[in-house]
Amino acid sequence: MSEGWFAGLAGDATGATRIREGSAETPENWPASAIESGFAADEEAYYARLHEAAMAAAREGMETRERADDRQVIHAVRAMDDAGRTANELAERVAEWAASRYSESGTGLDYCRELADTLPEEPADERLVALAERAVELDDERESLERFVERVVRDAAPNLAALAGPTLAARLLALGGGLESLAKTSSSTVQVLGAEEALFAHLRGQAPSPKHGVIYVHEYVRGTRPDKRGSAARALAGKLTIAARIDHYSGDRRPTLDADLEERMAQIRDDGGDDGAA
């Protein structure tokens, strides 16, 4: 009989690593073996220890996954969006409040920066200036997060970052659920990531099928004539999918992907492209 995951396991050890990394060529009567070896007093005790080990293995696996670079990119890009959205909402509040206080006021984050540098004369002005300062701080944090995302995504997904640009690559990772998930996603799905509402409306028969999602911000799509954007989006999505797969399964940088994409886009823009695969 093969040794089970519990063989020689100390009483204070959970066995999580063995559960995660171990394997057996054939099934065995593991409860009986555990009882015979003195690991468990009975079958119920064995399954209780197995449950504890499996839960610990799952927790360790989740912690490892969350610490991975692509997960850090996802958290950072979401935090960047939150900071930017909140900063703009505060800027709108500042503009409304300032309009009630001053004969001349402005709007937007630039006005918040201007207002934050002033010396308040009354209690209401103090709070208004403080609010403008918070908006500015959030906008500064958004910029810092963007720089962090641009740096980390180049390590987490070098080919995807090169083809899409670091910010778009980070958004694709976030929308796709991580590098592994994105690598297993079809190019047709990558093409419409970020256009879920339009896609659902199409499925309900209330709108035409979307040609692109967040990849529209890429110059190869946005900068292509409207009648050719469908082909451009398909071509870009196809290459981005390949890039994600290379990043996940091998991690080596493939500059040939850049050249292939440039060549394909040149064909689409010069000849009109086609509706086939990229």
Give me the pLDDT at residue 62, please.
Answer: 67
What whole-number distance in Å separates Cα of residue 127 and Cα of residue 111?
Answer: 15
Q: Which has the closest alpha carbon to 179: 86, 74, 95?
A: 74
The yes/no answer on whether domain 157-278 falls in CATH 1.10.246.90 is: yes
Terminal-residue alpha carbon distance, the chain = 53
Query: Mind listing the pLDDT tens digit of every residue in the chain (278 residues)?
Result: 467 888 888 766 778 888 877 877 788 888 988 888 888 889 999 899 888 888 887 777 766 555 567 888 999 999 999 999 999 999 999 999 999 999 899 999 999 999 999 999 899 999 999 999 999 999 999 999 999 999 999 989 999 999 999 999 999 999 999 999 999 999 999 999 998 777 777 677 777 777 889 999 999 999 999 999 999 999 999 999 999 999 999 888 999 999 999 999 999 988 744 444 44
Check if the beta carbon of residue 40 is closer than 8 Å to that of residue 46.
yes
CB-CB contact of 258 with 164 (8 Å): no
pTM (global) more than 0.75: no
pLDDT at residue number 6: 85
For the domain made up of 69-156, the CATH class stated in words is mainly alpha
Contact criterion met (CB below 8 Å) for 210 and 142: no
3-state secondary structure of 256: helix
pLDDT of residue 66: 53
Closest Cα to residue 96, out of 85, 81, 107, 110?
107
Would you state the structure tokens that stand for residue 209, as one six-digit string?
Answer: 């099928």
**pLDDT value for 27:** 82
Cα separation of 4 and 186, whole Å? 40
232 closest CA partner among 197, 196, 271: 271
Describe the crossing of helices 123-156 and 108-116 by its angle, rounded to 10 degrees: 120
